[in-house]
Amino acid sequence: MNTKILVTGGAGYIGSHTTVELQNAGYEVIIADNLSNSRIEVIDGIERITGIRPVFEQIDCSDEHMVREVLDKHRVKGIIHFAASKAVGESVQKPLMYYRNNIDSLLNFLEVMPVYGVKGLVFSSSCTVYGQPDVLPVTEQSPIRPATSPYGNTKQIDEEIIRDAIHAGHPYKSIILRYFNPIGAHPSAEIGELPIGIPQNLVPFLTQTAAGIRDKLAVFGNDYNTPDGSCIRDYINVVDLSRAHVVAMNRIINSQSEPIEYYNLGTGKGLSVLQLISLFEKATGVKVPYTIVGRREGDIEQIWADPSHANKVLGWKAVETIEDTLRSAWRWQQKLK
């Protein structure tokens, strides 16, 4: 029998790509998702890619009773916890919803895991915990800065909750993955990012503009202290990112990991917004009309990862090129259209 893994938020963007990689690696995946920001058709896409339909449980992970039921029914060995609200702007408008969703669900799993003998939890965190670092690239030892949004704060608080539970001797391990900017889609274009409403993130807005759904991409600021004045981020292919979760889960299942480990998941290369637009145009041959507007509140100027810890300890490295990644995002957009 294959080892069972629970993927919360498995119908979402990163969760669906990770489910594909886990199934390809021989794990049996149970998805727990309330479909609040995803669609059930994603499960069909996963099945078309892998030939295996993951078990799907429509539950709200902030409901302790439902969490207990799912863990009792499936007896998973590990959990990858993606289920969370993730829009920075919305979190400023609805902070309590963010604290409720993002913290209650984690507490439920941490409390219930020992009852069902779950070995460990891989947690989706974000480079947002570093704020604007003084020194670039950022390592896992870079200082944690005060969060600039309730969303960012939930990631910091969740990291602290996991740390405190493990320090108190809870009988499971955790690997905290700090993502930089995940972009792109599965090369098959069967799954990808499904932004509901007007996209807030750069790449979905860019591909919708290239497809003519939006008139113009607004570039938020060209007066930053960077070579071309626009913000710099570390854009990482979503399939590369997903593979790191499989490696992290293997470490937990094979009892190779420390009680708690932290990894930056990025490419190690920073790209500006203007560079990304130009790379997209070159990779796809499609023009992206854009205009420079004022800075977006809360944006940090520049950040990119030092991924050498993940490269060395996990033996994982981002391998997809930015051109292939942008082409995959474009193929997915064309399919959505």
| Nearer to ligand UD1 (CB atom), residue 172 or residue 224 | 224
| Nearer to ligand UD1 (CB atom), residue 139 or residue 275 | 275
Please name the residues in contact with 320: beta carbons below 8 A apart, sequence gap of 6 or more. Answer: 184, 237, 239, 240
| Nearer to ligand UD1 (CB atom), residue 163 or residue 296 | 296
CB atoms near residue 319 (< 10 Å)? 11
13, 27, 98, 151: which is the annotated catalytic residue? 151
| Nearer to ligand UD1 (CB atom), residue 59 or residue 83 | 83
Shortest separation between residue 300's beta carbon and ligand UD1, angstroms: 5
Shortest separation between residue 207's beta carbon and ligand UD1, angstroms: 11
Taking Cα atoms as reference points, which of 12, 18, 25, 20 lies closest to residue 48? 20
Report which residue's Cβ sits closest to ligand UD1: 231
Shortest separation between residue 305's beta carbon and ligand UD1, angstroms: 12
Pull the structure tokens for residue 153: 């704060």
- Please report which residue ranges of 118-201 form alpha helices under DSSP H: 150-167
Rounded to whole angstroms, how far apart are CA atoms 27 and 19?
9
Element (H, E) at 209: helix 202-210
Half-sphere exposure of 328 (CA within 13 A, CB side): 23
The label of the residue with tokens 């979190």 reads 91
Q: Are 253 and 175 in contact (CB under 8 A)?
A: no
Q: Are 309 and 138 in contact (CB under 8 A)?
A: no
Residue 151 is a catalytic residue: yes
Pull the structure tokens for residue 226: 């960077």
| Nearer to ligand UD1 (CB atom), residue 23 or residue 91 | 91
List residues near ligand UD1 by CB under 6 A.
86, 88, 126, 128, 149, 152, 181, 200-202, 205, 217-220, 231, 233, 273, 296, 299-300
| Nearer to ligand UD1 (CB atom), residue 247 or residue 288 | 288
Write the CA distances from 227 to 62, 181, 201, integer angstroms: 44, 20, 22
Catalytic residue set: 151
